[in-house]
Amino acid sequence: MFRFKYETVVSKPNPMRNFNPLARASNRVVGLEDRITELRNSKAWQRTVNAWKDIGRTIDPSKMPKVEMIELGVIAIDEDIQRKLDEKHCANRIGNVDLFNEPLLQTLQCIKTSKGQFVSIDGQHTATTLGALIEEGFFVGIDDWRKFKFPVQYIETDDLAFARRAFSILNGKGKKRQSAWDDLRNSVFIVRIDKNFDDEDDVKVEQKVSIAESYDCYPVEEKSELSKYPGTFTNIANFVNQNDETLHLACKWHNQYFHYLGIHVSLFFMYQEFQSAFKSARLPVSDKLQEELAALIQQVFVDLDGYAEAVKEAWRKWSENRYGDQTAWRDDGYAVALLQLYKKFGGEERVPLSITDRYDDLYKFFADEILDMAA
């Protein structure tokens, strides 16, 4: 007979039903002046202003970038600055027939030397792809890529060291990149607000979010103030990589047993293993098993945060014992150790051996006070 029984926690309305940032758009469009005022009123900006004043730094507008329509044929690629051409990136991303969209092409970034030469510091893949597409005859009314003019943003300088630093900045250093949350929000709003279903990936992401929301589970931005509310999670990349069946199982389980808590990332890793292994073994992820797993988590570890901390410590001891050194944590360990413990504590539901046979005896390296409860 299984050792533990789940103690029901009264469910209350989740405030995230009202706060959910994906449920509706703000419909606010503000002028740049609003943003400038917001920035100038921040403490972070005041520190920056003081730093400028301290060293007497000023700005020369004549050194600002210029934009001009430049023939592709005059652009040079300095191989000591730019990366080696990635043919797959050109073919599978920029030139992908399903993704190519003329209005979304970005300007090329160059330096212009005193001799009038334009040297590319960013955008060689875009320029190369456009040239190749012209060569293939896909441009209407254009047959010579060398004469085709494209917008180029450039700085006038002969300093190649500047060009190298600029390449580093344009490719990540000093640039605020789109977060996984930003990508998810864009996809959801494209479907929900714009009613645009052209991109299958957008539709799939919105469907995953809808599944989560149906169980009071909500993706939120990392470090968001909303992450303090029940049912929220911030590991967006892990979430969108799950299939719909996994999300139904995981979110339903959380909402049924741990609805009063935020979601630990281990939830999706565990149910990813469960959904795949149980399906392969033609076994059901039964309601009884799920309730008993919830009881095990609740009665022994309090919640998934506590379980995650305990299982990673067990993994450390197990790997040192088995290999003589600590090995990197593997996310399938969440599911493996939990089902091993379930059997240790008398669980009678059938579970796949493909999970429990992994990491042999991992469960034996949990803290003594935990294992003593099975005695």
pLDDT score at 203: 93
**Are the CB atoms for 151 and 158 separated by under 8 Å?**
no
User: Which of 139, 158, 177 is a domain's end point?
Assistant: 158
Residue 169 domain-assigned (yes or no): no
What's the pLDDT band for 81 if we cut at 50, 70, 90? low
Q: How far apart are CA 161 and CA 76, in angstroms?
A: 16
Q: Domain with 68 in it: what CATH number?
A: 3.90.1530.10
pLDDT score at 253: 98
Residue 32 domain-assigned (yes or no): no
- pLDDT above 60 (res 219): yes
- pLDDT above 70 (res 169): no
More confident residue, 266 or 166: 266
Same domain, 148 and 211: no
**Are the CB atoms for 113 and 158 separated by under 8 Å?**
yes
Summarize pLDDT for 181-204 with one digit per residue, the tens. 888 988 898 888 878 888 899 899
What's the pLDDT band for 82 if we cut at 50, 70, 90? low
Q: How many folded domains does the chain comprise?
A: 2
More confident residue, 214 or 165: 214
Q: How far apart are CA 364 and CA 370, in angstroms?
A: 10
Same domain, 304 and 357: yes
If you average pLDDT over residues 102-115, what whole number do you get?
87
What's the pLDDT band for 66 if we cut at 50, 70, 90? confident
Q: What are the structure tokens assigned to 179, written together?
A: 């977060």
Same domain, 104 and 218: no
If you average pLDDT over residues 120-138, what whole number do you get?
88
User: Which of 158, 193, 223 is a domain's end point?
Assistant: 158
pLDDT score at 235: 94
pLDDT score at 57: 86
Residue 340 domain-assigned (yes or no): yes
pLDDT score at 301: 96
If you average pLDDT over residues 41-59, what whole number do you get?
90
Percent of the chain with pLDDT over 90: 57
Same domain, 226 and 309: yes
- pLDDT above 50 (res 21): yes
Residue 207 domain-assigned (yes or no): yes
Same domain, 334 and 191: yes
* Angle, helix 180-192 to helix 200-214, in steps of 10 degrees: 90
**16 membership: H or E segment, kind and range:** helix 16-19
Summarize pLDDT for 29-42 with one digit per residue, the tens. 667 788 888 888 99
Domain encompassing residue 89: 61-158
Same domain, 93 and 190: no
Percent of the chain with pLDDT over 70: 91
- pLDDT above 80 (res 159): no
- pLDDT above 60 (res 168): no
Residue 123 φ/ψ region, left for φ over 0, alpha for ψ in the -120 to 50 degree band, beta for the rest: left
Same domain, 79 and 154: yes
Residue 299 domain-assigned (yes or no): yes
Residue 12 domain-assigned (yes or no): no
pLDDT score at 161: 62
What angle (nearest 5°) sits at the alpha carbon of residue 302, between those of residues 260 and 365?
145
Same domain, 202 and 251: yes
Q: One-letter amino acid identity for 282?
A: R
**Are the CB atoms for 358 and 338 separated by under 8 Å?**
no
* Coil/strand/helix, residue 109: strand
What's the pLDDT band for 164 if we cut at 50, 70, 90? low
If you average pLDDT over residues 52-80, what whole number do you get?
84
Same domain, 305 and 243: yes
If you average pLDDT over residues 156-182, what whole number do you get?
65
Residue 164 domain-assigned (yes or no): no
Same domain, 198 and 296: yes
Summarize pLDDT for 239-286 with one digit per residue, the tens. 999 999 999 999 999 999 999 999 999 999 999 999 999 999 999 999
Same domain, 69 and 123: yes
Residue 49 domain-assigned (yes or no): no
Highest mean pLDDT among 123-127, 182-186, 324-328 belongs to 324-328
What's the pLDDT band for 175 if we cut at 50, 70, 90? very low
**Are the CB atoms for 292 and 342 separated by under 8 Å?**
yes
Same domain, 220 and 255: yes
